[in-house]
Amino acid sequence: MYATYHLSSVEELNTELLEAIKATFKSKAIKIIVEEDDDILSTEMKADLENRLNEPTTEYITAKDSIDLLNKKYGV
């Protein structure tokens, strides 16, 4: 299991965040990686977009249709 916490500033680090992590993972071993959030898209998201760009254009749907499908499937 993993969880991602996005902070707008290092000033948001506090004991409440640590308590939330403790509650989520209980007594399990965890790894904490801290990195500067200078990129909006993750590597996985970029790879997915690249794959989409390489799809045949005959399979494209409109942005509206795409959003409608996401809403229907995930309630986004």
Q: Is 6 helix (H, G, I), strand (E, B) or coil?
A: coil
Could you report the per-residue pLDDT of 5-18, keeping only the tens digit for each?
Answer: 888 889 999 999 99
Look at the chain and report how many structural domains it folds into: 1
CA distance 71 to 3: 23
| Assigned domain for 5 exists | no
| Assigned domain for 4 exists | no
| Assigned domain for 21 exists | yes
Domain residues for 48? 10-74
The DSSP line for 12-55 is G--HHHHHHHHHHHTTS-----------SS-HHHHHHHHHHHTS
Q: Are 37 and 6 in contact (CB under 8 A)?
A: yes
Could you report the per-residue pLDDT of 19-37, keeping only the tens digit for each?
Answer: 999 999 999 999 999 888 7
| Assigned domain for 2 exists | no
CA distance 72 to 63: 14
71: DSSP letter: H
| Assigned domain for 3 exists | no
**0.85 surpassed by pTM:** no
